[in-house]
Chain A
Amino acid sequence: MTGPKDPLMAHSTNRTRRTGFAAARAAVTGALVLLAAAGCKDILQVDDPGAILPGALPNELGARTAVTGAIGEFNRAYSGSGGDAFLSNNANFTDELMDSETFPTRTATDKRDQFPFDQGNTTDGTYSRLHRARHLAVIARDLAAQFITDPEEQSADVALMNAIEGFSDVALAEAFCSGIPLSSVDASGAVTFGAPLTTDQVLDSAIVYFDLALAAATPGSDEANLASVGKGRALLDKGDVAGAAAAVASVPTEFVFRIGHSDTDGSENNPIFSLQLNGRYTIVADNPDNPAANDNEGVNGQPFRAANDPRVPWKDIGPGFDASIEVFSDELYNSLSEPVPFATGVEARLIQAEAAQQASDASWLTILNDLRDDVGTLMAGMYPNYEDQLAGSDVTNTTLGPLSDPGTPAAQLDLIFSERAFWMFITGHRLGDLRRLVRNYGRAQNTVFPDGPYHKGGEYGNDVAWPIPQEEQNNPLWVAEFPNGCDVDTP
């Protein structure tokens, strides 16, 4: 078109078009109003009996439900979730269990050769659930502080919620690669993205929460002991062995804090039994591609089966899910409802033993042997059905003899880590320990993690940590630093 446009014409045409559209809109809207009037006022109102809206929580009952919810969320993250929890991934990644099924992601985890972070791994869910446990613990703690009227109950709940926050941080730090963000959403829904934190920084966050828990808890209470063990574990991870020993000094040896499981809801099942029920994981099995590792997964593993140790009662239950290898089940978890002793006085003593050994204090061996001398009682304290479990297993030893000093500091340390491996078998501690050996004690990763030919073909990889999943790239602070994911080869 040439020549100037007629602004009046343009306006008129536009107005006519708009007027016509507006009339149609008015007619349509009128029809909607009529329809609403003919029916009822809230014609679009739908019932939703199956959801809990946030407005239902700010009261005393709601606060209790939130506290319970946070416990449940942590249970699922640490030791539930239909199998792919922190506990089971931890055992599969390390020498505690071998993969005997067909899911590629679980095989990749067992092989320490995980998929790239943007292709998904079996540990991704663990990462999300641990953060959910953190988030719910904060919601529940604040609700408990505001609405629970009984001071004793309130202090216990506040302490427990802080401890859960702390243990969530510890689990994240022990398993995932350095660079973990701790984001938050407040009660109004406002989002604060967390910047990537180093492993030590995440452990520092955990220690802050354990200190808050200790401040709120009644001294000597279960919550106080739980926070003490948590603080000791975090300090140990940081390499502050003496600080860790001090933190757990007051914890009685018989203390046990369990994660409960249920045989009803699948996410509340004991994950090890849940998976071994179908033959998906096994304690060290024969490796046809590497007979040298028949008793020790990847050569470096502990001889959990061959040791015939009453702390690891196992049983031959036949071919695995993929029918490739024989499955030897962990009889400590022989039902869906078997609880997991995830923080104990035994752990406190083991921390003290390590601190003593590092301080060249000969009491380290005494501590270990005192525990061994009392194995039946301590195991029964940790596992309510221990006697039946041991009796039903293929393990014949019921007692443990005393250990002798192997002489060198390195061998002493190996012995302590071995004792930790047996005492805390499949309780979620093993990966943290193996990474500590590399990070804090300077061992090479291929001397502590499973290594060499893998039983399903190929070789073990070099991964020593789990990748932070791709979804975290939606955190602008994280993606700015880790556009290609974090480093899973660095302890």
Chain B
Amino acid sequence: MHSGVRRLAAALFALAVLPAWAAAQGTITGKVTDRSNQQPVPNAQVLIVGTTRGTLTDDQGQFRITGVPAGTVQLRALRVGYASAEQNVTVASGQTATADFALAPSALTLDVVTVNAITGQQERRREAGTNTSLINTDSLNLAPIHTFADVLTARTTGINLQGMAGSVGTAQRIRIRGANSLSLSNEPLFYVDGVQISNAINANSGVGGQEVTRLNDIAPEDIENVEVIKGPAATAIYGSAGANGVILITTKRGKTGKARYNAFVEYGNSEDRNQYPSNFFAFQENDGGAPLLNPSGSLNTTARPRCVNGGRNVSVARGGCTQNGVLEFETIRDLRTSPFSVGERAKYGLSVAGGGDQVTYFLSGDLTRESGVIDYNTNDQINVRANVAAQVNDKLNLTATMGYTNADQVLNSNDNNVFSPIINGILGGPVFFGLDADGNPCTEGPTCLTPQLRNFGFSETNENDRALVEKFNVNHLTLGGTGNYQPLSWLTLNGNVGVDLTDVHDQQTVQPFATNLGGTFFGGNGFRDSDRSNNFLYTGNASATARFNLTPEIVSTTTGGASYQRARFESTFCEGTTLVPGANTRSCSLTSAQFSVAEGFSDNITVGGFVREQVGWKDRLFVAGSLRGDDNSAFGADIGVQYYPSANISWVLGDEPWFPKPGFMNDLRLRAAWGQAGLRPNFRQALDFFNSNPVVLPSGEEAPGITIGGSGNPNLKAERTTEYELGMDMGLFNGRAGVDFTFYHKRSEDALINVPLPPSLGVAGSQLQNLGSIRNQGIELGVNATPIDIRNFTASFRVSATTLANEIETLGADIPPIVINRGEQQHRVSNPAGAFWQRPFTFEDTNGDGKIDVNEITLGDTVVFLGNALPGHTISLSADFTLFKYVSVSTLFDERGNFLQENGTEQFRCQTGFARADRGCPATDDPNASLFDQARFLASLLGTQAGYIEDADFWKWRELSVTFRLPPSWTRGISALQGASLTVAGRNLKTWTDYDGLDPEINEQGASSNFNQNEFNTQPQVRTLTARLNLTF
């Protein structure tokens, strides 16, 4: 460590422990209750205004704050769902003062406090001019929530999760207020207790599409709340990485008092309840007496030939043959060929929270064992968390947090992979190709149980698919430390350091002769690959905040500080074939052919400085401005510090005595904010460099050679997104309803465009240049209401709605449209990013024969805009009902609209089936296929996929849970038991959509695709049912 830093640390420590500071202290205790029913309010924040001191109430609503300086302090109690309350408390030295609060329920909460991950400052919502969302997990029923993604899905405005497949452990795409960048990731930043964590996906070997994510290492049970900070107007202080928004996760803390244990047991199952298409085979009956199968087990296509000579249904249109019969079989659903079973999920957890006057703690651990509807898609995971907070003295508090996950995950092949069980089923045969007990071909009968290879699309049986899985062994550790030191009444020093370490071992092993894969794949000799990677993410922030009362009514808060982030990645990959038969080895070193090894590396450092000034007037009008400057190791050599300013204003108009509030309104706030944040380029993107490649010389010898690596841009700088937002919050009907409304407008300038370089230059394929601009704008509307709150029945509702209009304003001069997703989506100026573009087609059954031929299809000359890839609007509806205090019912519905998705599953199925002699899809082989279905398939052969790019609007019934809490009288005999509840819950219960594919919400490339929206044999979402028992001791 640098000597200067050491001296600074020593000085701070000495100041912290000076005993003189600890003199003349007292204690405050009290209870927080609900004014409407006098019930205790747990997890309410109780804070000493103007300090960093505070605590949370326990389950009985009680709190205790020790080490309070003698004198009069202002105490504030607040909780989401209630209006805050304040009172002055006089504390005598060595004495205990009592302060009770009776909070009035309020659907609009302006005083909820969160902690800024960069400045370390506590911020009240009323002080911010931006619309941030806070998700409190204690208001959620956790039974239908299995992952962190479930916590975020459909809870609030502005955030949209897409591409969530039904495979266990897979990742999702997260967008806040649209997509800012065409070339860089549009994923937000994530912080846990002030430490930035990686949301990088891991799919080094690849299973075809979906990947695992480390975000789901955060157990929902450990989360206190999640704050969604939506755009640069609020994230400017996060600098060169904040443009996509920030998600702050705060985990639970201990509370002063005796140890309180919470235990839960959860068990559930999952089922694939989706509709899968049948496989068809239309034939001409030439010999009705002939058996269906040949002696070899194949279809007897001599007796029953398929229409050929240019097509199937289409050849009928040409008079090529007559369809006398149709075979139809559901490979995916038939028990003899189905890859599906009922998935199981069990989770067990225990936590303890408590502490004394100086030290509080929260410790938790949970164990999850889960298998998906593909039974070898599994996740065995252990999470451990330890959070310790110490009030060293009345000036200094320290917090240490630790989260650790160990996971063993197995992903089956999926999406674009011939070992995907779904692709093998969807392309399966039109009849059960079976073998009876004697090995004779058969299609039905009690002994016709053994499937032949030809049942499966790529002749890969469920057993073969099972052999090609990818295993992930994960160790994920997040360590953080935070200190708040208040040496003077007006000065607070904040600091936090942390590191997020992810160690992933990603591997595949296929043992020799383990399957019938031999011959073509892997030569039957076995295969092994192994990728060990380490991701290090370091966070460090230090700041000083000075708070002055400029006048009795005006408070100035000035913050200055510095910030450091580093993202370092290392990996070592090896692969080889030909393992020792029977030895069950799983090591590259024991492969004996086709061995190769590679190392990966990247490193990126950001240093930043920031200042922020906020002026508050009468605690109702707040004006703030900030400036952050960043330098980054990936900026071009010619680029210096990048600055990101922001300004915002919040006016609680309802607190103005002169404001004429109508009778139905009890609170009103107006707010406005403007700010800029960036997206930094990645490692090496500013550099010219070569890679090394082994070369086989004409002599046959191998030697190292160079190959073109990158063509860097020395002027590369961060993308800059400017956002303004305007909004208001209203409390209505005596706090029974709250409304928040926001208009946002974002514009990314200097957007990094991956400019294709003319290949004739012979250099790299593209170069990032700061050329483009992209606009996102829309409105966010949230409505909370508790219209019924009577003695034995309470009903609450929440509606969240968001609109998004995304448009590429410029791409740079002479940059042609950027084509993605196999040519079906494009980035085009004056159109939404990644929108679908295809040549249109029309069709008409001119001869009225019920069949479409290619000459009945008219193809447009040029591609036209078809629609958005990102939803243009989202709506979520939730409702909570409580009956007789002990029974509660919660439900959640989720809508996405105004977007398209490619039904690549059906397009590929028809294209592949068309080429085969013994199977097809409805468009090719179902005599009753609609004209549109026939036409869209033939149009796809003519070069447009427009017919398979479908309206993907949907409503989903996400969650339903019913909880029964045991009345205290039932547990009176069990002295240790403080509470118990039993919940039964379901997730993904129903989908309403016109989309024709498997699921309008899934995506071939999971989270890794920035814009691609293509369902391609992806595992659709599954229905889960869960029972959960919670016990409190």
Interface residues of A (CB under 8 A from B): 21, 24-25, 27-32, 34-40, 43-54, 57, 65-73, 75-76, 102, 104, 115-116, 118-120, 124, 127-128, 131-136, 180-185, 189, 191, 193-194, 222, 257-268, 277-279, 288-289, 317-319, 321-324, 336-337, 339, 453, 455-458, 469-476, 478-479
Contacts and interface: CB of A to CB of B under 8 A. Distances in A.
A132 B629 contact: no
Interface stretch (B396-404, B598-606, B784-792): B598-606
Contacts of B814: 474, 476, 479
Given A44-B632, A52-B706, A479-B814, 20 more contacts: A31-B560, A32-B631, A35-B607, A50-B601, A51-B710, A52-B692, A66-B705, A75-B695, A75-B696, A135-B708, A136-B708, A136-B762, A182-B760, A261-B696, A262-B696, A268-B695, A289-B308, A323-B458, A453-B309, A457-B941
Contact of B819 (A119, A184, A277, A479): A119
Contacts of A46: 603-605, 633, 683
A318 B643 CA distance: 63
Given A180-B760, A469-B759, A28 B823 contact: no
A306 B398 CA distance: 83
B708 A478 contact: no
A201 to B, nearest CB: 14
Contact of A336 (B594, B708, B763, B941): B594
Nearest to B4: A38
Nearest to A73: B707
A393 B756 CA distance: 45
Contacts of A29: 609, 629, 641
B627 interface: yes
Which of A67, A115, A135, A458 is packed against the most chain B CB atoms within 10 Å? A458
A52 B690 contact: yes
B2 A38 contact: yes
Interface stretch (B84-92, B502-510, B907-915): B907-915
A217 B782 CA distance: 78
B263 interface: no
A135 B761 contact: yes
Interface string B83-118: 000000000000000000000000000000000000
A318 B520 contact: yes
Given A183-B762, A194-B760, A470-B816, A51 B689 contact: yes
A456 B915 contact: yes
B12 interface: no
9 contacts: A32-B607, A32-B629, A37-B4, A38-B2, A54-B689, A65-B705, A66-B706, A474-B758, A475-B758
A260 B696 contact: yes
Interface in B784-817: 814-817
A263 B522 CA distance: 13
Contacts of B698: 71, 222, 257-260
Which of A38, A222, A277 is packed against the most chain B CB atoms within 10 Å? A38
Contacts of B684: 48, 51
B9 to A, nearest CB: 11
A115 B822 CA distance: 11
Given A70-B705, A102-B911, A456-B915, A35 B562 contact: yes
Nearest to B606: A44
A90 to B, nearest CB: 18
Nearest to A118: B819
Given A28-B609, A264-B594, A457 B914 contact: yes
Interface string B605-622: 101111100000000000
Contacts of B688: 53-54, 189
A323 B641 CA distance: 58
Nearest to B5: A38
A190 to B, nearest CB: 11
Given A115-B943, A453-B310, A457-B941, A318 B519 contact: yes
Nearest to B907: A104
A7 to B, nearest CB: 26
Interface in B906-956: 908, 911-912, 914-917, 941, 943
B595 A264 contact: yes
A37 B7 CA distance: 14
Contacts of B715: none
Interface residues on B, range: 35 or more
Given A27-B609, A43-B605, A48-B601, A265 B561 contact: no
A478 to B, nearest CB: 7
Given A135-B708, A180-B760, A71 B695 contact: yes
Interface in B688-734: 688-700, 702-710
A153 to B, nearest CB: 13
Contacts of A71: 695, 697-698, 705
B1032 interface: no
Nearest to B600: A50
B823 A471 contact: no
A255 B418 CA distance: 43
What is the interface of chain A mostly: helix, strand, loop, or mixed?
mixed
Give 5 nearest A-B pairs by CB, closest first: A135-B762, A31-B609, A260-B696, A72-B695, A69-B705
A133 B695 CA distance: 13
B489 interface: no
A31 B561 contact: yes
Contacts of A324: 912, 915-917
B755 interface: yes
A53 B689 contact: yes
A264 B912 CA distance: 31
A72 B609 contact: no
B916 A34 contact: no
Contact of A289 (B310, B693, B700, B941): B310
Nearest to A336: B594
B376 interface: no
A260 B694 CA distance: 11
Nearest to B693: A72
B564 interface: yes
B459 interface: yes
B457 A323 contact: yes
Nearest to A67: B705
Nearest to B684: A51
A265 B695 CA distance: 9
A257 B698 CA distance: 7
A29 B4 CA distance: 19
Contacts of B755: 474
A265 B1012 CA distance: 29
A111 B520 CA distance: 25
A72 B690 CA distance: 13
Nearest to B542: A35
Contacts of B632: 44
B690 A51 contact: yes
Given A135-B761, A321-B458, A471-B758, A25 B691 contact: no
A479 B603 CA distance: 38
A381 to B, nearest CB: 14
B206 interface: no
A479 B912 CA distance: 36
A182 B759 CA distance: 9
B4 A183 contact: no
Given A51-B690, A132-B763, A260 B697 contact: yes
A257 B917 CA distance: 43
Nearest to B908: A102
B760 A323 contact: no
B698 to A, nearest CB: 6
B5 to A, nearest CB: 5
Contacts of B819: 118-120, 470
Given A38-B5, A72-B705, A474-B756, A32 B641 contact: yes
A319 B459 contact: yes
Given A35-B562, A68-B695, A104-B911, A131 B520 contact: no
Contacts of B817: 118
Nearest to A71: B695
B251 to A, nearest CB: 28
A323 B691 contact: no
